[in-house]
Structure 1
């Protein structure tokens, strides 16, 4: 590849966004044989398949996803250039593509990201929520700059990734006021037989909680196992059961979900990691997140 044909790249970008050549033809106002022919030439020029069929829809291959992410950036910049030349203000600044794992408490994620929103230089943040393994695959393809996770990446992820420990937070038990009254006396012994909403077994917190239950000789009644931390709290707000969360965001949890903090769980902490493709944090926004975490964000206490 000596020179990239941007017209072909544009055709690919539209086809990928639409998921089919026929829909792309409607947008581009071109005949299907024209698009198919130009797309075949582009794949030959790239030297790799970019799209594959799944049922009636076209989906990106790994190489296709990489090319698509660059195309998205290229044509977004092109639109901004057009707006600028027309005299329109675009507020263009840094871009941060950020992955957040399902199990990571979203209030903690916001606390980590929030300093970026107060910077003098604007930052455009793209947030993606998914399972850890999928997000780590996106880092390997350079589609994501950073993943915020409750567990570190391991060699089994299949990519050379680097873990940056952001900190750890003590964990407490939360409940609606009516449930809280029933289980507040003689805490934590009162939790034996209590209804609980627990994170799924593939999370680091769940493994720690299972050990804690065993050490305290407690037998919870598991009402539901929920991987998504926000959905778990929504169940908790409805009074389905008690749930665990970091106490550093206790005030925000109680205000948002109408709950109360019953007490802290001794010996159980939740750790948080920033995962990148480089050991040195080259993206300035990633460095800001790490610096903010290291400046007391995870200190003991609820704020």
Structure 2
């Protein structure tokens, strides 16, 4: 009997140790396909360079060209800055892991990565909603556009988009990393994100999952509903236009933004709001690649190809004369 009690005490100590000694995690990334890690390293390195160059060009053009220093392009410039920061949270780390084939990340580095990723993700949602509102005002109330979207208001709205998610996402990160982690320290992902981390937590995480859903609704669904509201009004206004020329102009104004919205919101919504019984982790990685890496890459391509002003100004500054 005494021996059994001692064994029980030893097991409790081991269990308690498992809760407290988690000092680092291991990002598995794409370790399940090791023969392709150099190929993936090359692909993601090219993608990172494209993201930096593409978004950097948009930032530069909108800053140095006086004709593009308008509320719309101020929002687009901030969006490009955000995309560079956003992708730089996960992609350089993933490139390093593909190069070294290690994947070890400290507890504090993992928490920091997730915190910044969540904050910038919330900022992206609000910036996309702001850009949709800008299109709504420009198309539905063009005479009032200079008054409604003046420089001061635009700066305030963009600033609010940047800081709105800071306190909430910092609190959510603290809540996630205050959970006890035991057993495996392997994160089956290429960066520290909420869903794979919750799978490593011990005990009852029901409250944490509810909080994740609440914040996902707050920072993903609410801005998305605002975007839908803006575009529903834009649609009604377009249908009232007397000529197809007006329809074409309005559609060209909104099409690039709509493409980015569909890419980002579609993948992010499925990743964070999908049912719990969906356990196919390969799909989680694929969805994360869309909203964390591919959307920032497509952003400059979409806006430069769809936006006549950005395309012409870019060609003008590159070649020194107007495109023919």
TM-score greater than 0.5 by the shorter chain: no
TM-score (norm: length of structure 1):
0.24
TM-score (norm: length of structure 2):
0.23
Structure with more strand by fraction: 1
